[in-house]
Structure 1
Amino acid sequence: MRRLSSRRYPRRPAFRGLAGVVAVVLALLTGCTDVEGTATTVPVALSGDQAAVAEQRAPAVLAESRPQRLRIPEIGVDASGLLDLGLKPDGSMEVPPDGSTVGWYTESPTPGEQGPAVLAAHVDWAGEEGAFYDLHELVPGDEVIVDRADGTVPLFRVYRVEQYPKDRFPSARVYGDAPGAELRLITCGGEVDSEQGGYRDNIVVYARMDS
C-alpha cells in the first residue's frame, strides 16, 4: 500500500474539450525526468474479449467532488491524500514532487464528472518504484476505484492501455471530450533517453465509470 501526503485543493476552473491540452502535454514531455537505471519497453496487447469492455454503456455522470483516494487493486495501488496539480507560471502542468505521490490535474474534471479526469504519478524516482510503476500491467476490465469528498465511490473499468512516444503524443485522443465520466491514468515508460535524462514514452490507461 502506498500512502500519500495530503493537501487542500483550490477550486478548479471548468475543463471541457481540449482546454488545457497544450499545458498538459508540455508537462508530459518534460516532467518524468528524475530517472535512474534503465527501463524496458512495455508491450501492450488487447484481446478481442478485453476490447469489448469498451462497448459497455456508462452510467450517469456525477456532480463535481474532489478525489481523495485512488485504489487499483490489480497492481496494489492504494493512494490517499491525492495532490492537486495545477499550472506552472510557464503554462506547463505541475508534476508530483516525488515518486510516491499521485496527483489530480485540477484543470480536468473531478473523477465521476463528464469528461476525462487526469491522474498522474511517476513510474520511478531516485532508483525506487513510483506509485504508477506497474501501471502498464493493467488490462481492460481491471478496476480503478476513486473515493470522493462527497462520500461517493465511483468504480471505473479499464478499457484501453496505450504506450505513446512523447514526441507523437495524441493529445486530442487522450484529452478530448468523452460522452461520460472517464479517467486517464498517466505515467512515463519505454526506453530511457540518455541525452534528455527521462523516458521516451508515456503510458496512458483509459478507464470508464462503471458504477
Structure 2
Amino acid sequence: MPPEGSDSQAPAAKPASRPGPALPRSTPNRLDIPSIGVSAPFTALSLNRQGTLIPPPDTDSNLVGWYKAGPSPGERGNAIVAGHVDTKTGPAVFSMLNTLKAGNKVTVTRDDGILATFVVDKVQTYKKKDFPDQQVYGDTNDAQLRVITCGGAYDHTAKDYTANVVAFAHLTSFRWA
C-alpha cells in the first residue's frame, strides 16, 4: 500500500489462476471509468456476416456496446465492451482509453441491480492485422472484461484506424447499486 496522502497507487492484483468471483447473467446498463471520465449507457452489439463485431452507432459519441452473445460483465468469461475513439463530430467515449493504467477501476451497473467492479490489468495496442483474437475473445475461468476501441493512425484511404486499443480487466468485487 502507498503511504497515506501519496498520489501513488498500489499495483493491480493479478487475476487468480483458479476461478474468481462470478455473477449470473444480467444485461449491463452503465459503464463508469472515473480515471478517464467515462460514464456511458450501453447498447447491445452483434456480429456482421463476416463474423466481426458491429460497433455502436456513431450518432451518439457517449454510447458503449456490449457483445450480447457473449458473457455479460461479471459473468464467468470475457465480456466484450466496445466504443468509438472519435466520431465525425469529435472525440468519443473511449478517446482516452489508451491512457488507462493497471490498477484503474472500471464499474458496470447491471439490470439486476448489481454494481460490478473490475480492475485493469493492462492496456495494449495491436495492429489490426496482428489482432490476438484468442487472447481478447477467448474463454477464461474467471469474470473478465475487455474494453476495445480504435487506435493507431487514421488511414484516410481505408477510412479506418490501423490498430485497436484493448483494456484487459478482471472482476474484483460486486455489490448492490
Which bin holds the TM-score, normalised by the shorter protein?
A: 0.7 to 0.9
- Counterpart in the other structure of 2:131: 169
Please, what TM-score do these two structures have when normalized by structure 1?
0.72
Asked if 1:64 is matched to 2:25, the reply is: yes
Alpha-carbon distance in 2 for matches of 1:195, 1:201? 15
Deviations 1:141-185 (A, max 9, x none): 000000011111110000011000000101111111111000000
Deviations 1:33-75 (A, max 9, x none): xxxxxxxxxxxxxxxx74x632457742100011011000101
Asked if 1:103 is matched to 2:103, the reply is: no
Alpha-carbon distance in 1 for matches of 2:78, 2:163? 20
**Which runs of no fewer than 5 residues in structure 2 stay unpaired?**
1-9
**Which runs of no fewer than 5 residues in structure 1 stay unpaired?**
1-48
Q: Secondary structure of 1:53's match?
A: coil
Q: Is the 8 A contact 1:53 1:140 kept in 2?
A: no
Asked if 1:140 is matched to 2:113, the reply is: no
Q: Is the 8 A contact 2:148 2:164 kept in 1?
A: yes
Please, what TM-score do these two structures have when normalized by structure 2?
0.85
Q: Secondary structure of 2:13's match?
A: helix
Alpha-carbon distance in 2 for matches of 1:177, 1:56? 15
- Is 54-63 or 121-130 further displaced after alignment? 54-63
- Counterpart in the other structure of 1:187: 149
Asked if 1:120 is matched to 2:82, the reply is: yes
Asked if 1:79 is matched to 2:40, the reply is: yes
Alpha-carbon distance in 2 for matches of 1:197, 1:88? 18
Q: Secondary structure of 1:60's match?
A: coil
1:93 to 53, 74, 81: 53
Deviations 1:85-107 (A, max 9, x none): 11234543221111321111112
Larger helix share, 1 or 2? 1
Q: Is the 8 A contact 2:46 2:53 kept in 1?
A: yes
Structure 1 residue ranges (4+ consecutive) displaced by more than 2 angstroms after TM superposition: 52-59, 87-93
| Identical pairs, percent | 41
- Counterpart in the other structure of 1:30: none
Alpha-carbon distance in 1 for matches of 2:147, 2:68? 14
- Structure number with the bigger relative contact order (C-alpha 8 A, sep ≥ 6) is 1
Report the residue type matching 1:71 in the other structure. D
Q: Secondary structure of 1:62's match?
A: coil
Alpha-carbon distance in 2 for matches of 1:89, 1:170? 20
- Counterpart in the other structure of 1:196: 158
Report the residue type matching 2:48 in the other structure. K
Larger strand share, 1 or 2? 2
Give me the CA root mean square deviation: 1.7
Q: How many residues align?
A: 161
